[in-house]
Amino acid sequence: MVVLTTSIQNTPSITELYVFGDSLSDAGTVFRATGGMYPPSPPYFQGRYSNGRVWVEYLADRLHLSSNQVHNFAYGGATTGSDRNFVPGLLTQVQSHVKTHQKTHSNVLYVVWAGANDYLQGASSTTLPVENISRAIASLADVGAQKILVANLPDLGQLPTTRTTVNSVRLSALTQTHNQGLRRSLKISQQHSDIQIATLDANTLYREATANPAAFGFTNVISPCLAGSSCGSPDTFLFWDGIHPTTKAHRILGDTAFAAIQDAGFVNSGSVLPP
């Protein structure tokens, strides 16, 4: 994580939030594109791949941003690259944005989180996904982006849908290699531009929740709440379905993301009210 050396006392607040990624950050993009058909609601919540709001919405709350100040391009099923089966990948999302936004200002926070679908859909090398994320960041930097929050991947081999499959070990290894490559790539990106990068360490957060569920208020971190029918107490589950977290887990992700941008000096901690 990059921490600014200047005093945060004079740090302006975040005035806009732009989000690029996949179903972990999608707050209704696919739902609108499919005329409200997918993901089905119920059991999914109003176009989210969860039982409630997703982490970037909780982050926006912490930043006191209205819906008009949040621009979410994340698309369920997106990979890190360009279009795949008519699904706009991370690069496509970012490239579409920069075509219409040739210049940004310093009070905008950009969120980039993608990669899981590359590996869940069969990618066997981390080189291209990490390169795609780097290219997306470079494209944002070219139009003046200064504050970027990038998330790494949770252990893809330990999701409810992958845990007991033959791909579990391979996916865990790919996750580790991806996160190592991403960390190196972000250091290089930081050195060669004016951008400041904060990291949401989703991998550590998932691992800690799995190792010590009670500390996070969970009683089940193995099985999905939604298995045929919805469970009775979703807030006690880490996972809503075989891949995606519950809104309780999303809230924790949002709070962790807020702490990360505070640590990086993106916001003045004294000017933001508690949740």
Instruction: State the sign of the Cα–Cα–Cα–Cα dihedral 193, 198, 204, 206.
Output: negative
Is residue 199 within 8 A of residue 1, CB to CB? The reply is yes
Quickly list H helices, the chain. Answer: 29-33, 55-62, 90-100, 116-120, 127-142, 168-191, 202-211, 247-263
Length in residues, the chain: 275
Q: Per the domain annotation, does 81 fall within a domain? A: yes
Q: Per the domain annotation, does 216 fall within a domain? A: no
User: Distance between CA 21 and CA 253 in Å, rounded?
Assistant: 15
User: Distance between CA 33 and CA 85 in Å, rounded?
Assistant: 14
Element (H, E) at 20: strand 16-21
Q: Which domain holds residue 134?
A: 8-202+247-268
pTM for this model (two decimals): 0.92
Output the tens digit of pLDDT for each of the chain's 275 residues. 433 333 334 456 899 999 999 999 999 999 999 999 999 999 999 999 999 999 999 999 999 999 999 999 999 999 999 866 689 999 999 999 999 887 778 899 999 999 999 999 999 999 999 999 999 999 999 999 999 999 999 999 999 999 999 999 999 999 999 999 999 999 988 887 789 999 999 999 999 999 999 999 999 999 999 988 779 899 999 999 999 999 999 999 999 999 999 999 999 765 454 55
Is residue 56 within 8 A of residue 62, CB to CB? The reply is no
What pLDDT does residue 101 have?
A: 82
> What is the domain-level CATH number for residue 93?
3.40.50.1110
Per-residue pLDDT tens for 145-199? 999 999 999 999 999 999 999 999 999 999 999 999 999 999 988 887 789 999 9
Going by C-alpha positions, the residue among 245, 201, 252, 208 that lies closest to residue 225 is 245
Q: Per the domain annotation, does 275 fall within a domain? A: no
User: Distance between CA 94 and CA 92 in Å, rounded?
Assistant: 5
Q: Measured in whole angstroms, how far is the alpha carbon of residue 166 from the centre of its chain?
A: 26
Q: Per the domain annotation, does 208 fall within a domain? A: no
Q: Per the domain annotation, does 32 fall within a domain? A: yes
Q: Per the domain annotation, does 228 fall within a domain? A: no
Q: Per the domain annotation, does 28 fall within a domain? A: yes
Q: Per the domain annotation, does 225 fall within a domain? A: no
For the chain, how many structural domains are there in total?
A: 1
